Chains A and B, each alone.
Chain A
């Protein structure tokens, strides 16, 4: 029968897709919640595993029932009318009871998980509080206890609960770091809360995240990094914001420092001890300690930072950073390199460098 032949081919095809899909998630997984590190993300994954098994069982039962019905019918091979049955009350009731049982088997762990993860029971006095404000297309982070104001990348100490207060300055955003916890939306005029929990099983290092709610324009480039530090490294990072700054004196850095004011960068970007900037623009204090430039866009190498300053629109279309150099400006490369050198020197003096979390989350 020709029908059966192509059924077999499509089956083979579907199996291939499933296998490739499964292998796909084994390769690179820097943002994957299938290999969670935070306590909350682990709990969320356990719910997924549990319901995937239940669901696969139901799906298999339905497929087997359909195939059996078709094969029985094909085997019969007579022109007689089948029994005109309107259904079987016992089977009907049995299956309804079974589906109620299945749904209950999902509902109970759900309610327990909601209860376990509720934020209003996290002891506030022991937790680290971080205020997040979403902007098109970057994140502002404020540590009210230590007075740190920074952008796009944060450090948190391992083993301590972190409570985020979420606000938005313009449209909707959603803060999502899959390996640590699920997301929560940033909504104007409505303060939301989210929490992270880590323990000694959480690897130290960088965790990737990005905005998960359409915010137009450069939405795809609104990324973030959360660096989980040991408590000692975290304290060093915090201290680096309170030390008194002496800016490096190498000539390129000095030139960059001068240009930063001259070109108007300082009007928007605050740097502690140097410029006051504008409160709704990314704060660049200790920029040299960050891993990326442009809200998680590219690694903050000197060339990348210079390219970003020279033409932000080319790297992240639609963002609000102005282009300050003409395309044919002969001084552009030299000047942007100097500013990059200045920015990358920030926070790098003294011991602070040691606090850099090195490898990624795995």
Chain B
């Protein structure tokens, strides 16, 4: 083994020189394993996709602005809402949560990186690979057109002979590999790399929510991946899982998809819950109310999330007892979600509230999410769902939950942590307008859609005839999407302006915040913490600033301090950068095209490249370097 690992290391180093701490420029970004850089790359990519999906939604709304419109033809319209849905769910909001987690998890638990830095880089590159492959379909014969949940048998070769569906299946398959590997990475990090004194019950709520989310990913993605592989096999090798003409069972796709798809909703929303749970206490200058209830309600939501999938399928014929079971399990989720809502309100109650842009988004989130939750209960009433399902009421409901809920929550987090990410402060003045445009635009788009559902307008219709009473409400809804788009443009403008400015420097702790990431400079140095933090309670940084609230024995504090000193004894070791995660992702990317175009030669070459890069990755050695601090704590 010694010989082979030595050989591989030499071979690898001959092919590509391993970057070191002196490497600068584009190569240093391509090979980086730094959680902060990867977090920022995740956030940049997810915001670009968010913007793309917003433009797609504006195009969809423009088509629906008046009856019998011909702005987009049916095929383009189908592709557009498929792109919009897939982009929002898989390429924008979910990676946004991963981006926040990537940047913040080590900082908030007092670690210096994730447990597996190169795996983290691989997770990011394979997400980019999957997203790029998915979007390349636009230029290669048309995007997928079967909606974001791609119900069989719309995806079968007979119903959908073009390549679009292949791009959906392979693109999400690749992106899913990244999501899974990052989930494992973050779980290991949170479980085993917390600073001395950071017991589970002292973790910030954001960390708890991220931990639960990552476990959800771990259990939710396998069934989805199985379903994707089945369709890929049907389309590429002629298997018959979902081919009705040959006796396939299309309904199976819906079960597998929603066993993934419902937890996916919580995968999207729980990190936003976490962000809100940091924002509201900080801007109320109070600790989070009901911390243990918040933790357990998160766990309950996550656990129950696996027991409700068939409520997406009430109209497929579950029978009365199936309907009763899945209606009741769905109602049960209302209780822990309600507990979260009133604990956030109770946190504000009696606090010293500062209405920063971040806090405005948090309040906007609360109201919007409650509305989404209430309509969620309605949708779970199966006899009522028979009218609601697949109508515009449902479109309104899930946008209130995922768009108004998760997205507004992430916007609160974005305004809150932007100084830490970049070292610059976004404009509070512009921020108010961004909030007003996005919140008002959002409600103008989606509130009238509840009523379109009552009027009998099904979702995903490319156009509607005059005389059904759909006209006015659709017009209002479309206007709303332009208002929201204006808000998005304003935000983009402010981000660019802030990044180019020199006078908006952020201090370490601009908000008088509570958790560890605010104890270090903005943006943090490459090694995050000069000394391993000493954690003395929940909201440990707040306790450092206001020691009168400390509730810890001197003995325990001394022990924790000792542990922290001990862990610094060996110096600060930074992980080595690597080319191999990127190359492995590139191999999988082209391998995806090999499957789509049935090119065996390309497939074999890419499989070889993948094996080689994993081998070289495994044996390239630890690498990295030690950060040496001078007496003032600065980096030499």
Contacts and interface: CB of A to CB of B under 8 A. Distances in A.
Contacts of B353: 69-70, 73-74
B436 to A, nearest CB: 6
A47 interface: yes
B532 interface: no
B578 interface: no
B390 A212 contact: yes
A20 B386 CA distance: 26
Given A25-B454, A103-B331, A189-B244, A82 B286 contact: yes
Nearest to B454: A34
B387 interface: yes
A181 B386 CA distance: 8
A113 B314 CA distance: 14
A55 B436 CA distance: 25
Contact of B387 (A55, A62, A182, A213): A182
A336 to B, nearest CB: 22
Nearest to B539: A84
Contacts of B561: none
A73 B455 contact: no
A290 interface: no
B199 interface: no
A214 B78 contact: yes
Contact of A65 (B284, B349, B382, B386): B349
B23 to A, nearest CB: 46
Interface in A39-97: 41, 43-44, 47-48, 51-52, 55, 58-59, 62-63, 65-66, 69-70, 72-74, 76, 80-88, 91-92, 95-96
Interface range for B: 35 or more
Given A28-B468, A86-B287, A219-B461, A13 B440 contact: yes
Contacts of A156: none
Interface in A1-46: 3, 6, 10, 13-14, 17-18, 20-22, 24-25, 27-34, 41, 43-44
A183 B315 contact: yes
Contact of B74 (A110, A184, A318): A318
B381 A33 contact: no
Contacts of A189: 244, 247-250
A187 B251 contact: yes
B293 A92 contact: yes
Contacts of A211: 458
A171 interface: yes
Given A33-B387, A74-B353, A216-B160, A103 B454 contact: no
Contacts of A135: none
A312 interface: no
A102 B339 CA distance: 13
Contacts of B457: 31
Most B CB within 10 A of own CB, among A10, A17, A20, A218 = A17
Contacts of A117: 383
A317 B73 contact: yes
Contacts, number: 315
B291 A185 contact: no
Interface in B417-432: 432
Contacts of A170: 153, 158-159, 244
B463 interface: yes
Contact of B386 (A18, A21, A171, A182): A182
A22 B451 contact: yes
A189 to B, nearest CB: 5
Given A73-B353, A188-B153, A106 B377 contact: yes
Interface string B430-456: 001000100110011001101100111
B74 A218 contact: yes
Contacts of B375: 55
Given A44-B383, A114-B320, A55 B378 contact: yes
Contacts of B595: none
Given A83-B350, A216-B159, A48 B444 contact: no
A96 B456 CA distance: 36
Interface string A328-354: 000000000000000000000000000
B472 interface: yes
Contacts of A25: 451, 454-455, 469
B277 interface: no
Contact of B381 (A51, A82, A91, A187): A51
A114 B319 CA distance: 9
B159 A86 contact: no
A63 B364 CA distance: 10
Given A28-B468, A88-B346, A103 B74 contact: no
B351 interface: yes
Given A82-B286, A111-B324, A189-B250, A69 B348 contact: yes
A318 B351 CA distance: 60
A192 interface: yes
Given A107-B328, A210-B458, A92 B386 contact: no
How extensive is the interface on chain A, given as a class?
35 or more
Contacts of B387: 33, 41, 44, 48, 178, 182-183
Contact of A110 (B381, B455, B469, B549): B381
A115 B320 contact: yes
A187 B250 contact: yes
A229 to B, nearest CB: 22
A314 to B, nearest CB: 11
B163 to A, nearest CB: 15
B454 A63 contact: no
Contacts of B146: 214, 216
B317 interface: yes
Contacts of A218: 74
Contacts of B288: 86
Interface stretch (B189-197, B366-374, B522-530): B366-374
A83 B323 CA distance: 47
A21 B447 CA distance: 8
Given A44-B386, A85-B289, A107 B331 contact: yes
Contact of B284 (A82, A210, A212): A82
A346 B533 CA distance: 87
B547 interface: no
Contacts of B590: none
A59 B450 CA distance: 16
Give the 6 A-B residue pairs with the shortest CB-CB distance, closest first.
A182-B386, A31-B456, A28-B469, A188-B244, A55-B374, A220-B461
Interface of A: 3, 6, 10, 13-14, 17-18, 20-22, 24-25, 27-34, 41, 43-44, 47-48, 51-52, 55, 58-59, 62-63, 65-66, 69-70, 72-74, 76, 80-88, 91-92, 95-96, 99-100, 102-103, 106-107, 110-111, 113-115, 117-118, 120, 168, 170-172, 174, 176, 178, 181-185, 187-190, 192-193, 208, 210-220, 317-318
6 contacts: A14-B447, A55-B377, A69-B353, A74-B353, A99-B338, A103-B335
